[in-house]
Structure 1
Amino acid sequence: MSKTIATTAFAGQRPGTSGLRKKVTVFQQPHYLENFVQAIFDSVPELNGGVLVVGGDGRYYNRTAIQTILKMAAANGVAKVLVGKGGILSTPAASCVIRKYGAVGGIVLSASHNPGGPDGDFGIKYNISNGGPAPEAVTEAIYARTQTITEYQLADAADYNLDTLGEGELAGMQVVVLDSVLDYSELMASLFDFAAIRAWFAAGHTMRFDSLSAVSGPYAKHIIEGVLGAPAGTVVNGEPLEDFGGHHPDPNPAHAHELMEAMFAADAPDLGAASDGDADRNMIVGKKLAVTPSDSLAIMAANATLIPGYKDGLAGVARSMPTSQAVDVVAKALGIESFETPTGWKFFGNLLDANRATLCGEESYGTSSNHVREKDGVWAVLFWLNLLAATGKSVTELVSAHWARFGRHFYSRHDFEGLDTDAANGLMEHLRGLLGGLAGQKLHGLTVKLADDFAYTDPIDGSVSEKQGIRVLFEDGSRVVYRLSGTGTEGATLRVYLERYVADTAGHGEDTQSALAALITISRELAQIAERTGRLQPTVVT
């Protein structure tokens, strides 16, 4: 038996680059979650009679939301739901399960790297049948429906037991509780040389994987400590907690304090790694060296044929526009295509589906390949483990060799968080007003070659995405990029990306912020950041 419940629309339910993200307290409002979920069912009619995957990163409100979604799925005619045990599904594992079992799509509950807990953030997004985030045509249809919704459907049923593996029924709908760790581990074993990695650990090499009390823990423990034989305790903070144990689940040097301290100590392990709230991001750290995500992507591309799953080479590579151009240099050397897309993993999906790209990545600690349609933190760590095992080199040796061959792209991102939204929008409009007159100007010794508001035409379906970030490109290859983030839940976040290319190895040892000093000054003066926002320094530097 199902009920039809009257409701009224909520303003502001437009999905961002990674779904709808708000404070937990917003989602806890009566009808708020239900409206958005009903909008998904109304916008994707194929779900009626189809298979749906449901799961999340285990943050606060995850279990409650899943029970609501299951009852709504039953009331909306879904034939079968595959749900992660305990409501747990990492984002890349959700993509894996959607693809493996031929689901129509999946509802993924995550706010990724945003803080958790009762006062933290919550998020929901819809992934399509290829396992990737819904494209803009679908998310816009969902948003449009949220603005006109007047009722939703809910099965009158008891909560379902999410903690017991196996099949059951909820209001006539088949429910399968599965252990997604096993499906995901099977996929990883098909890509990497697990025997070589086992031998690397057996030879006495060590690593530290910090799951930040988030969802990567079960996956990392099973594969790294279980299948690959790393010593117990290699994975730390490996139990997913609703508030991430107070950790900020964002794998970067500014937030993963314990890992950075361990990797800069005298007895540092050979490899350090961290993942985020939903296990789709990764950070790679060597002894006293944090590898930038842009460099990580480029190094993986340059060495991909050492990995069994990529031994035949890459069809192409893709990066988000703000990500450094390091992988472009590799692609040119390999004679393969490289693509520059807007920020948001959904923009890689068409390239992967069309086999125009094999590896892709974003500067925000996201890297992945065509094995799923999401970024994948554990996969990236296994890729690096395989490289270390295959080459016999250390992280630092791999990075140094890469810079010597391809040059170094000094790179940093400066985030100004929690800005007044009107002030942030005004700053971007100010920059747009400058674009027409910047070319040819000399700024602190650097000549502007091009300034624009990045627009992208998808080479597969021809769709156009405009106003994707303001770029100021200089004649020496340096860049300053400005974007307002779409992943926050309070105020506005201005992200400023800085990049400078240095070919000569003699200059590769310079401190990153020193190497970028002129660009930092240019970026702040050009945008009038202090005058318009009142901020003299960024909140976070990565």
Structure 2
Amino acid sequence: MSLTSVIIPTTPFEGQKPGTSGLRKKVKVFMEKHYTENFIQCILDAQKEKIKGCTLVVGGDGRYFTTQAINIIIRIAAANEVSKLIIGRRGLLSTPAVSSLIRSHKVLGGIVLTASHNPGGIRNDFGIKYNIENGGPAPDQLTNEIYELTQKITQYKFTPELDCDFQQPGVQTFEVDGRQFVVEVIDPVNDYVTLMKSIFDFKKLRSLLNGTETQPSFNVLIDSMNGVTGVYVKRIFLEELGSDQDSVARIIPLDNFGEIHPDPNLTYAKDLVDKVKEDLRYDLGAAFDGDGDRNMIIGKNAFFVTPSDSLAVIANNLNCIPYFQKNGVHGFARSMPTAAAVDRVAQKLNKEMFEVPTGWKYFGNLMDAGRLSLCGEESFGTGSDHIREKDGVWAVLAWLSIIEHKKMSIEEILKEHWRTYGRNYFTRYDYEECDCESANKMMEHLEKFISNDGVVGKSYSSGGKTYVIQKVDNFSYVDPIDNSVAKNQGIRILFEDGSRLVFRLSGTGSSGATIRVYIDSYEKSDTTADAQIMLKPLVNIALEISQLKQFTGREEPTVIT
């Protein structure tokens, strides 16, 4: 049967501006008539010259509204002369897997249906982001163009009678307006597992987890938090590496994540932290967010590894991973708010080091130019140039490779690292769903503060410690590959002893404003003290300078990491 597309009149919606990683709103917003259709049409229109005859990857973390959104994408893609869609079975694909598929199949890009670490379910969040042909998130130029189109859209193309089942693998072919349109439904895991087996030595990792005649088994607890990584964890850890059922938790993807907040940090992954603390069998605990691009690592007795330290330790030990033995190490990078622990590793190993704005898209050009092998963000994201997204499962396999190579515990590895490089004490205070006007006023106050001629050299004291301001700015970045500029990426206050305060409004929330305050202090000798105690004086100074409590009325942060 030949299907016919139609043109449906529409009008713009306010606020369809993609943030750091796409458009995120409450589910009920995406369910409004024409809302999702408008945004998908604008994604395609922003690449009008390339869309005809192209192939796109589609999938997401399985959260509520995924099925409905994929049906919309199928019907709009067919009407817009897209030639083929590659869709994960049941609509499931982790964000790292989407990046891998785009690269391995050499397609135009992919539409990722996720709000990442945000809660799911009908009352919570949904998101749509577009990844380009290198597998990475769309750059600012493209997202700005998409947003401009959403402000003036008048119609979208649709194939109303196209019904496509994507519950099981297989190829389906349709005739739309006399053209062939193909939907290939694939197993969401196969390609990704093949990639991981080309990067890591699975034989060694299997021996680590199961033990040998001379070495006891290394016990792990991997928590997928009811997100999409469950299908990957099941295949990799239970089937490929032979770990037992007690080594995994919450591996069945649920559209509401079981009413939990799928954010892998000490607050929202408390169940994992408590379990590893109570059960001393476990040598490593790990958690992932909804779409699998973030990770948290803890050691025995819930010894916490900050994302900044995790990045630095992996950087210092890449030589034990076959992928880097073969391809070499070309450079390191971190987001600006991330503590500078990896900078010292780069200096010792004589590697290039880059500091970029928050957002994984800023790493892509450096990787494509062959100048970056490993990068990370303090927001629990770590990855390498094997794809163009951060990758939670990859990070855990990297840690297991290091542990197998060094024959040391996580805590021993960290303490050895601090003895060598010193320690960046680091914390982040998140104030979620603040009043937008109040949050913006606080940032305006900080802008005035850093523009004051007398601020450099000014001292602040708290808890018996004094800090002298050395430099202030609103971070800007010039991409060394294409010379594009990103401005106003976060207020920075740098002190003479190397300590830092950073203030940003997050671009990943779906409602209200999230204020993030980053506190970073470097210590060469005192490396085993409690981080929150060490940082408390700087926290007090951050609150004094920002007047956060006065502007927002918040007495405490929502999350401390």
TM-score, normalized by length of structure 2?
A: 0.95
Q: What residue number does 1:526 align with? A: 545
Deviations 1:508-534 (A, max 9, x none): 221111100111011000001111111
The offset of 1:417, in angstroms, is 1.3
The structure 1 residue matched to 2:514, chosen from 481, 490, 493, is: 493
1:458-477 equivalent positions in 2, closer than 5 A: 458-477=479-498
Q: What residue number does 1:43 align with? A: 46
Q: What SS does structure 2 have at the residue aligned with 1:318? A: strand
1:293-304 equivalent positions in 2, closer than 5 A: 293-304=307-318
Q: What SS does structure 2 have at the residue aligned with 1:233? A: helix
Letter in 2 for 1:174: V
Deviations 1:296-335 (A, max 9, x none): 0000000001111112542001100000000001000100
Deviations 1:117-143 (A, max 9, x none): 000100001100000000011111111
Deviations 1:249-278 (A, max 9, x none): 000011101110112125240110000000
- 1:217 aligned to 2:230? yes
Q: Aligned partners of 1:32 and 1:266: how far apart in 2?
A: 48
Q: Which stretch has the larger CA shift, 23-32 or 382-391?
A: 382-391
Letter in 1 for 2:25: K
Q: Aligned partners of 2:553 and 2:283: how far apart in 1?
A: 42
The structure 2 residue matched to 1:175, chosen from 172, 183, 190, is: 183
The offset of 1:232, in angstroms, is 2.2
Q: Aligned partners of 1:2 and 1:33: how far apart in 2?
A: 18
Q: Aligned partners of 1:323 and 1:278: how far apart in 2?
A: 22
Tell me, yes or no, if the aligned pair for 1:196 and 1:390 is still in contact at 8 Å: no
Q: Aligned partners of 1:207 and 1:470: how far apart in 2?
A: 39
Q: Aligned partners of 1:509 and 1:102: how far apart in 2?
A: 47
Q: What SS does structure 2 have at the residue aligned with 1:373? A: coil
The structure 1 residue matched to 2:157, chosen from 153, 160, 172, is: 153
Q: RMSD of the alignment, in Å?
A: 0.9
Q: What residue number does 1:282 align with? A: 295
Q: Aligned partners of 1:23 and 1:8: how far apart in 2?
A: 20
Q: What residue number does 1:514 align with? A: 533
Q: Aligned partners of 1:394 and 1:496: how far apart in 2?
A: 31
Q: Aligned partners of 2:184 and 2:468: how far apart in 1?
A: 60
Q: Aligned partners of 2:35 and 2:181: how far apart in 1?
A: 24
Tell me, yes or no, if the aligned pair for 1:318 and 1:340 is still in contact at 8 Å: yes
Q: What residue number does 1:2 align with? A: 5
The offset of 1:387, in angstroms, is 1.1
Q: Aligned partners of 1:179 and 1:233: how far apart in 2?
A: 25
Number of residue pairs the alignment of both structures matches: 540
Q: What residue number does 2:86 align with? A: 82
| Structure 1 unaligned regions, length at least 5 | none
Q: What residue number does 1:440 align with? A: 457
Q: What SS does structure 1 have at the residue aligned with 2:361? A: helix
- 1:307 aligned to 2:311? no
Letter in 1 for 2:482: D
- Which stretches of structure 1, 4 residues or more, deviate above 2 A after TM superposition? 156-159
Letter in 2 for 1:453: N
The structure 1 residue matched to 2:434, chosen from 413, 416, 419, is: 419
- 1:373 aligned to 2:388? yes
The offset of 1:390, in angstroms, is 1.5
Q: What residue number does 1:128 align with? A: 132
Q: Aligned partners of 2:166 and 2:246: how far apart in 1?
A: 28
Letter in 2 for 1:528: Q
Letter in 2 for 1:55: G
Q: What residue number does 1:324 align with? A: 339
1:372-411 equivalent positions in 2, closer than 5 A: 372-411=387-426
Tell me, yes or no, if the aligned pair for 2:56 and 2:108 is still in contact at 8 Å: yes
Q: What residue number does 2:306 align with? A: 292
Q: Aligned partners of 2:393 and 2:305: how far apart in 1?
A: 16
- 1:192 aligned to 2:200? yes
Q: What residue number does 1:451 align with? A: 472
Deviations 1:148-199 (A, max 9, x none): 1000001132421111211112443111001120100000000001110011
Q: Aligned partners of 1:268 and 1:365: how far apart in 2?
A: 25
Q: What SS does structure 1 have at the residue aligned with 2:362? A: helix
Tell me, yes or no, if the aligned pair for 2:30 and 2:126 is still in contact at 8 Å: yes
Q: What residue number does 2:259 align with? A: 246
Q: What residue number does 2:274 align with? A: 261
Q: What SS does structure 2 have at the residue aligned with 1:331? A: helix
Q: Aligned partners of 2:281 and 2:35: how far apart in 1?
A: 47
1:93-108 equivalent positions in 2, closer than 5 A: 93-108=97-112
Q: Aligned partners of 1:243 and 1:268: how far apart in 2?
A: 30
Q: Aligned partners of 1:221 and 1:8: how far apart in 2?
A: 44
Letter in 2 for 1:343: T
Letter in 1 for 2:41: Q
Q: Aligned partners of 2:65 and 2:417: how far apart in 1?
A: 44
- 1:334 aligned to 2:349? yes
| Structure 2 unaligned regions, length at least 5 | 212-216
Deviations 1:410-455 (A, max 9, x none): 0000011111111111111111111133211111111111010000
TM-score, normalized by length of structure 1?
A: 0.99
Q: What SS does structure 1 have at the residue aligned with 2:246? A: coil
Letter in 1 for 2:57: V
Tell me, yes or no, if the aligned pair for 1:39 and 1:146 is still in contact at 8 Å: yes
Letter in 1 for 2:32: Q
Q: Aligned partners of 1:438 and 1:225: how far apart in 2?
A: 56
Q: Which stretch has the larger CA shift, 312-321 or 413-422?
A: 312-321
Q: What SS does structure 2 have at the residue aligned with 1:435? A: helix
Tell me, yes or no, if the aligned pair for 2:223 and 2:286 is still in contact at 8 Å: yes
Tell me, yes or no, if the aligned pair for 2:280 and 2:300 is still in contact at 8 Å: no
Deviations 1:195-221 (A, max 9, x none): 100111121221000000000000011
Q: Aligned partners of 1:116 and 1:275: how far apart in 2?
A: 15
Q: What SS does structure 2 have at the residue aligned with 1:264? A: helix
Q: Aligned partners of 1:176 and 1:30: how far apart in 2?
A: 28
Q: Aligned partners of 1:267 and 1:333: how far apart in 2?
A: 35
The offset of 1:82, in angstroms, is 0.3
Tell me, yes or no, if the aligned pair for 1:97 and 1:180 is still in contact at 8 Å: no
Q: Aligned partners of 1:74 and 1:235: how far apart in 2?
A: 40
Q: Aligned partners of 1:419 and 1:66: how far apart in 2?
A: 32
Q: Which stretch has the larger CA shift, 363-372 or 431-440?
A: 431-440
Letter in 1 for 2:121: G
Letter in 2 for 1:425: N
Q: Aligned partners of 2:281 and 2:480: how far apart in 1?
A: 45
Q: What SS does structure 1 have at the residue aligned with 2:243? A: coil
